[in-house]
A and B are shown apart, each in its own frame.
Chain A
Amino acid sequence: MNEQNRLQAGITPAISGAVMVIGGGISGMQSALDLANAGFKVYLVESSPAIGGKMAQLDKTFPTNDCSMCIVSPKLVEVGRHLNIELLTWSEVTALSGEAGDFTATVSSRARYVDIGKCTGCGACELACPVTQISYFPQEMPEEEQKKGGREKRLIRGPGSPVPKTLHPWAFSVIAEKCSKCGNCFRACLHGAISWEKGGIASVIADKCTGCGACYTACPEKFSAVAISDAPDLDKSLGAAIVARSVALKKEIPVKGRQDCIRCGLCAMTCRKVMRIGALKMVADGIEANLDACQVCGACVSVCPVSFLEIDQVTNREARPLYNRFNEGLNLRHPVNILYPQAVPRVPVIDEASCVQLNTGACGICKSVCGPGAIDYGLKGGERQIRIGSVIFSPGFEVFDAKRRGEFGYGIYKNVVTSIEFERLLSASGPTSGTVQRPGDGRHPKKIAWIQCVGSRDSSCDRDYCSSVCCMYATKEAYIAREHDSAIEPTIFYIDMRSFGKNFDNYVERAKERNIRFVRAMVSRVFEDPLTGDLELRYVDGSGWRVTETFDMVVLSVGVQIAAKTRELAATLGVGLDRFGFAITDAFTPLATSRPGIYVGGVINGPKDIPETVIEASGAAQAASAGLALARGSEITVEALPEERRPDPDEELRIGVFVCHCGTNIASVVDVAAVAEYARSLPGVVYAGHPLYTCSQDSQESIRAIIGEHRLNRLVAAACSPSTHEPLFMSTLRQAGINKYFFDMANIRDQCSWVHPNDPEMATEKAKRLVRMAVANASQAEALAELEFDVNPGLLVIGGGVAGMTAALEAARQGFDVSLVEQQPALGGQAQNLGRTWDGQYFWEYLVKLKEEVERHERIKLFLGSAVVEHSGFVGSFTTDIMTPSGALRTISHGAIIVATGAEEARPDLHGLGTSERVLTQVDFETRLFGNEQGELNHVVMLQCAGSRATVTAAYSEPDTGTPCETPAGTVAGQGHLPYCSRVCCNQAVKNALRLKEINPAARIDILYRDMRTYGLGELQYQQARRQGVNFIRFDPLENPPEIDVADGGVRVVVSDPSIGRKVSLAPDLLVLSTGMKPRENEELASMLRVPRNSNGFFIEAHAKLRPVDLPSEGLFMAGTVHAPKDVSETIAQAQAAVARAAILLSKKNLRLSGVVSRVDPAHCAVCLTCVRACPYGVPFINAEHTAEINPALCQGCGICVAECPAKAITLGRYQDVNLKAKIRSYAQGLTEAATVEETHDG
């Protein structure tokens, strides 16, 4: 391969070292990170305004109940900050020319109207924008209506009483020079507060004025003689002042529901002076609305401080609310909108369709309130040509349009929601802040029903496939709903419970224990009680009775589908799709599309959950970069850093403090100038400033200049959250030549101004205290060295099955030297026993080719019949001893390991397996079906879950906690039965049934199953098998287990068939047992590599959702069935993913480790072994000098050993006792005199 590339590079234009990733969901982000971290430039194109995709919308994730946003946001930040990932959001690929290695993509970006370079993401524009509807702008109004010119008027009654004059009043006056003496103001004033005589100049009588602004709106535009004074924010714009007053009044007047008009006049002023419409007028009895003049923008409604106005009152036209798409339309948004709070880039987009300024030129409030001047209504979209070597297509999915299943009433009944809407209702950052409420009336629902397979497994609406994720997400939603409100009684209506993934069955069992009811039934219809909004569900229960049951709320478990836009994009790219819109791929090259050089990851390649998506994304990154390996590093930017200044131990403290306004986020509550002033008085502080946005690009530059100018040697930022912004400030510090650990951060936004908006004084005091603590901590900071060491670019692959061989070959294509160790004398693994793939390809053909390529490759060294016997070292620098068949030891040095030891078919002692020749396992059967001696087979019975999913009801294990398991694999229940679902058996049974039908169409096949788990596109084969007459008989292992009698004479199976309600007696030629798979013997290897296994013997990944390929120890990865049961395509994808993950390490010359690691002071170490026992990662060891030692390359910096060490011989940089004590003491300063609880705990 490499030779070929070299040749190509010589004669054709050199290949590009850049890759374009289309789609910024979890798949695209993972691909982008893996590529960029392995030396490739990435262009990440996302059609929406921010990356994050569907995962950012989810509340929790199954089966660990991890908070989705918490685990995805670090990825967002990493992508956003990556030097070699160029984000092209709000953009689309419109053309792609060229070929693999040398493509040119055309990317067109839509106008954002906000300058990404200037915007700091403070959100002030969104808070100020009063528009909430899609207006009827002049260009779309019918002519006759425009001519009619507003005759119909309506009085909105609300004479009310004027808001107390002292409450945020504005003062009005008449500018004598401008007054046209027309008297409009005099006539408009309802309080006799204008003095005017015909032909004279008007003036305002201040005592009588209530500040309603009627005079101001009445004064003709061309004179504008009425002026406002004493209005905060008026210097920005009138609109900004109106919004500010509205916000101030809202704070002051506690509103519960709709209240009477307070005659503040903000609505009329907004309409006339900001929107330039003038459809509202203050009159004696209330507000007069000119119904035809109204443009229905909603501004009057949103500035009303008492929720008096309603949109339907001011117009006759249908209001078109601007729904928040991120919250699935459950609440409203403004035309200027940041997609979601954690969005990257956190930059709003102004919507062309609804923004008043862009359509009529009026308003413009957002621009006037934007501190950094980032809003520019004149910005235009653009088009760019980008040269790249390959493309990863990961556009993701949309959910099924539930309106197409009309019988459930979605879109008609308000309390019927889709599952993704329910996710938003559960989310703490969602429209209801995480309280489960009915959208219809806001009531807390008690009985909630989930209806499964809405838009899945349904050929009537062309969604024949299974969406793979709904069973689990519905269970999760029910589980979390009950956690939010234990009064909720969830019921899940399902066809088959497809909880086929790792630890999924356990999760469902735990859900059952938490009183979540599962009903195997298809709901036929939903009816609404129009009075109560309750919903009546009709279904047929397990015993065949028609049942009617009432629920408070219904959640439709909508399936995934490929959007029409995605299909168009695929056509543009030249990627072939199947009839459902999924990319056409091959079982043995699962990530390559029909166009060479374009790869796929995620749901575009078939329905799948997050970990599967992440695996494919990493795999696609590998596939996309393998052909570009020679161009690695050719297009990336490397950050150039100045020499780090060595701190002199005696030098004086020179601390610089930056207190951030964060626009108004902090400054509107906390007196930042006072905090900065206070900071200046603290010991060691020589500079304190308060920039408007400390994080903005220009602030970073000025901070760098200030560090130089004031010779600062410590930096403290009092701003927002360290989890998002600490790396930025630390890198600025480093760029100024200072060790980056001379830093601390006080979070005075999330932990202060946001929490105490109503108590500015105490909030300021709290901010001072937080700053004082940060300064105290920074004073104690030490320069920490980040260890740098060389990386050995070799890779060790353990296991020579499909996973191991693929990994070895792909790594070799990437240019790394590989040692492949296989225990058996030949390569091949479990796949040698298999016949054909789901798409009809022969395994043996594939294996022959793969083996040959592996054996021939110059970079792969094979160790057959060999075993790993000794292993040491750490990431980037491992040493492993291999015992060869001759008994000789070979020592290999390498930088990373991929474990691919695989799994084998379980052979439990069950129903005469192994004793009767009429009883086979599914794999035995497959071998026979594809072998030479098929024999005459007329009747076959297959038993699914034979010895599988055995003990889940009896005992479940908690999800993997990372602790190495103590029970050896395969001894659960003492019978060799597997407690888990093996994922592949249902598909395999269907495949083999179809094969038998191919050989002998007359053959009778009965498949006895518990749940048919033919997930994803496997559902199509299942339907085909049903069409071809294969019988599927469901059984329950507890209630009606099949009676199986295997004797010399033959096999007899008696089972009760629930579909006919009778017992059937079968006498097949063969009984085929789907026994599932179990990991190969790997206990010794696991303990040698120090990686944890779960109670079933499968290796535990570093993170169940987002690091499914990494093992918990750095530098170790896994591929294939050693992780969990999976099919061949999934195995190949994971092998490619493992190479992508390893390539990140191996492509680096050296690695730099965090400076925050534990160190042992040998002088104090008593060699008590406490640290050795306490470390969750098994890092500390006793060295030759007989003291404990912690390898900084392995240390994770958790500090457990530090806390446990009785001799206090261990320290952890940044978190030493001196640091913590300094913070505590500094916290307590000023407390000692104020010894009463009341005083100490205010704020």
Chain B
Amino acid sequence: MLEAFENGADGVMVIGCLEGDCHYLSGNIRARARVARVAAILESIRIGGERIRMFNLSAGEGAKFAAYVNEFVGQVRELGPSPVNVVRKNAA
């Protein structure tokens, strides 16, 4: 997840199955914790914890998926480019 930010992502969505419906029993619960940890790291290095978010969806929820993507993209747009990208652009 951090790798994506290093590589210039302005935001990262992590999408898992609905909680309780994980094919691997508890994988998505662990993923949630991991995403929270990454968010804390992003916060502490001033990239911003709100740039990463975990979403849960079932395979039959195409419309909801699109809504989530639009919502998150909108949110990231408001935040503007990631500081990593701003610095890189200024350096260039």
Q: 1/0 per residue A663-675: CB within 8 Å of B?
A: 0000000000000
8 A Cβ contacts from B4-43 to A:
4, 7-10, 20-21, 23-27, 30, 34
Q: Is the CB of B30 within 8 A of A1203?
A: yes
Residues of B within 8 A of A69 (CB): 60
Q: Is the CB of B81 within 8 A of A1198?
A: no
Q: Is the CB of A1228 within 8 A of B27?
A: no
Residues of B within 8 A of A1231 (CB): 7-9
Min CB distance B55 to A, Å, is 16
When chains A and B are docked, how far (Å) is the Cα of A1224 from the Cα of B14? 14
Residues of B within 8 A of A1238 (CB): 77
Interface segment among A499-507, A783-791, A958-966: the answer is A958-966
When chains A and B are docked, how far (Å) is the Cα of A64 from the Cα of B22? 12
Is B45 an interface position by the 8 A CB rule? no
Q: 1/0 per residue A329-347: CB within 8 Å of B?
A: 0000000000000000000
8 A Cβ contacts from B61-75 to A:
61-63, 66, 73
Q: Is the CB of A70 within 8 A of B92?
A: no
When chains A and B are docked, how far (Å) is the Cα of A305 from the Cα of B41? 54
8 A Cβ contacts from A649-665 to B:
none
Contact pick for B85, options A755, A1196, A1221, A1235, CB 8 Å: A1235
When chains A and B are docked, how far (Å) is the Cα of A1174 from the Cα of B73? 33
Q: Is the CB of A66 within 8 A of B21?
A: yes
Min CB distance B41 to A, Å, is 15
Q: Is the CB of A1241 within 8 A of B63?
A: no
Is A1200 an interface position by the 8 A CB rule? yes
Q: Is the CB of B63 within 8 A of A434?
A: yes
Determine the interface band of chain A, counting residues with CB < 8 A from chain B. Answer: 35 or more
When chains A and B are docked, how far (Å) is the Cα of A69 from the Cα of B10? 35
- Number of B interface residues in the complex (CB < 8 A): 33
Q: Is the CB of A1241 within 8 A of B86?
A: no
Q: Is the CB of B7 within 8 A of A1227?
A: yes
Q: Is the CB of A1225 within 8 A of B7?
A: yes
When chains A and B are docked, how far (Å) is the Cα of A797 from the Cα of B59? 37
Q: A1198-B24, A1237-B10 are in contact. Are A67 and B80 (CB under 8 A)?
A: no
Q: Is the CB of A1241 within 8 A of B81?
A: no
8 A Cβ contacts from A1181-1217 to B:
1196, 1198-1200, 1203-1204
Residues of A within 8 A of B60 (CB): 59, 67, 69-70, 428-429
Q: A1221-B3, A1235-B88, A1237-B77 are in contact. Are A1200 and B24 (CB under 8 A)?
A: yes
Q: Is the CB of A1237 within 8 A of B20?
A: no
8 A Cβ contacts from A396-449 to B:
428-429, 433-434
When chains A and B are docked, how far (Å) is the Cα of A1203 from the Cα of B77? 30
When chains A and B are docked, how far (Å) is the Cα of A586 from the Cα of B81? 71
Q: Is the CB of A428 within 8 A of B25?
A: no
Contact pick for A1196, options B7, B24, B77, CB 8 Å: B24
Q: Is the CB of B27 within 8 A of A1237?
A: no
Min CB distance A563 to B, Å, is 28
**Nearest neighbor of B78 in chain A, beta-carbon distance:** A1237
Q: Is the CB of A1241 within 8 A of B73?
A: yes
Q: Is the CB of B61 within 8 A of A961?
A: no
Q: Is the CB of B24 within 8 A of A1235?
A: no
Contact pick for B20, options A429, A958, A1176, A1228, CB 8 Å: A958
Is B76 an interface position by the 8 A CB rule? yes
Is A316 an interface position by the 8 A CB rule? no
Q: 1/0 per residue A33-57: CB within 8 Å of B?
A: 0000000000000000000000000
Is A702 an interface position by the 8 A CB rule? no
Contact pick for A1200, options B8, B30, B66, B86, CB 8 Å: B30
Q: Is the CB of B26 within 8 A of A1237?
A: no
**Nearest neighbor of B12 in chain A, beta-carbon distance:** A1224
Q: Is the CB of B27 within 8 A of A1198?
A: yes
**Nearest neighbor of A755 in chain B, beta-carbon distance:** B66
Residues of B within 8 A of A1198 (CB): 23-24, 27
When chains A and B are docked, how far (Å) is the Cα of A403 from the Cα of B60? 32
Is A524 an interface position by the 8 A CB rule? no
When chains A and B are docked, how far (Å) is the Cα of A1174 from the Cα of B92? 44
**Nearest neighbor of A73 in chain B, beta-carbon distance:** B59
Q: Is the CB of A1240 within 8 A of B63?
A: no
Residues of A within 8 A of B86 (CB): 1235
When chains A and B are docked, how far (Å) is the Cα of A1232 from the Cα of B25? 38
Min CB distance B52 to A, Å, is 14
Q: Is the CB of A1232 within 8 A of B8?
A: yes
Q: Is the CB of A963 within 8 A of B25?
A: yes
**Nearest neighbor of A1197 in chain B, beta-carbon distance:** B24
When chains A and B are docked, how far (Å) is the Cα of A428 from the Cα of B64? 10
Q: Is the CB of B27 within 8 A of A1176?
A: yes
**Nearest neighbor of B76 in chain A, beta-carbon distance:** A1237
Is A1220 an interface position by the 8 A CB rule? yes
Is A1233 an interface position by the 8 A CB rule? yes
Residues of B within 8 A of A958 (CB): 20
Residues of B within 8 A of A70 (CB): 58-60
Q: A959-B20, A1203-B34, A1224-B3 are in contact. Are A1235 and B25 (CB under 8 A)?
A: no
When chains A and B are docked, how far (Å) is the Cα of A1220 from the Cα of B24? 20
Q: Is the CB of B30 within 8 A of A1235?
A: no
Q: Is the CB of A963 within 8 A of B3?
A: no
When chains A and B are docked, how far (Å) is the Cα of A755 from the Cα of B86? 30
Residues of A within 8 A of B30 (CB): 1174, 1200, 1203-1204
Q: Is the CB of B89 within 8 A of A1235?
A: yes
Q: A66-B21, A69-B60, A1237-B81 are in contact. Are A1176 and B26 (CB under 8 A)?
A: yes
Q: A66-B21, A961-B20, A962-B25 are in contact. Are A1241 and B7 (CB under 8 A)?
A: no
When chains A and B are docked, how far (Å) is the Cα of A1204 from the Cα of B33? 11
When chains A and B are docked, how far (Å) is the Cα of A1204 from the Cα of B85? 29
Min CB distance A432 to B, Å, is 12
Q: Is the CB of B59 within 8 A of A67?
A: yes
Q: Is the CB of A1200 within 8 A of B27?
A: yes
**Which residue among B8, B66, B79, B88 has the maximum number of chain A CB atoms within 10 Å of its CB?**
B8
Min CB distance B54 to A, Å, is 14
Q: Is the CB of A961 within 8 A of B25?
A: yes
**Nearest neighbor of B3 in chain A, beta-carbon distance:** A1224
Residues of B within 8 A of A229 (CB): none
Q: 1/0 per residue A69-89: CB within 8 Å of B?
A: 110000000000000000000
When chains A and B are docked, how far (Å) is the Cα of A1236 from the Cα of B27? 34
Q: Is the CB of A1228 within 8 A of B9?
A: yes
Q: A67-B58, A428-B61 are in contact. Are A1235 and B26 (CB under 8 A)?
A: no
When chains A and B are docked, how far (Å) is the Cα of A429 from the Cα of B73? 26
Residues of A within 8 A of B9 (CB): 1228, 1231, 1240
**Which residue among B3, B25, B92 has the maximum number of chain A CB atoms within 10 Å of its CB?**
B25
When chains A and B are docked, how far (Å) is the Cα of A1196 from the Cα of B21? 16
Residues of B within 8 A of A755 (CB): 66
When chains A and B are docked, how far (Å) is the Cα of A1221 from the Cα of B24? 23
Min CB distance B5 to A, Å, is 10
8 A Cβ contacts from A943-964 to B:
958-959, 961-963
Residues of B within 8 A of A1233 (CB): 92
**Which residue among B7, B10, B27, B92 has the maximum number of chain A CB atoms within 10 Å of its CB?**
B7
Contact pick for A1236, options B24, B62, B66, B81, CB 8 Å: B81
Residues of A within 8 A of B23 (CB): 1198
Min CB distance B38 to A, Å, is 12
Min CB distance A483 to B, Å, is 10
- Which 3 residue pairs are nearest across A and B when measured between Cβ atoms? A1198-B24, A1228-B7, A1235-B85
**Cross-chain pairs A/B with CB under 8 angstroms, 27 sampled:** A64-B21, A67-B58, A67-B59, A69-B60, A70-B58, A70-B59, A433-B63, A755-B66, A961-B20, A962-B25, A962-B26, A1174-B30, A1176-B24, A1176-B26, A1176-B27, A1198-B23, A1200-B27, A1203-B30, A1228-B4, A1231-B8, A1232-B7, A1232-B88, A1233-B92, A1235-B85, A1237-B10, A1238-B77, A1240-B9
Q: Give 18 A-B pairs besides A1200-B30, A1231-B7, A1236-B81 with Cβ atoms closer than 8 angstroms.
A: A59-B60, A70-B60, A961-B25, A963-B25, A963-B26, A1174-B30, A1176-B27, A1200-B24, A1227-B4, A1228-B7, A1233-B92, A1235-B88, A1235-B89, A1236-B85, A1236-B89, A1237-B77, A1237-B81, A1241-B73
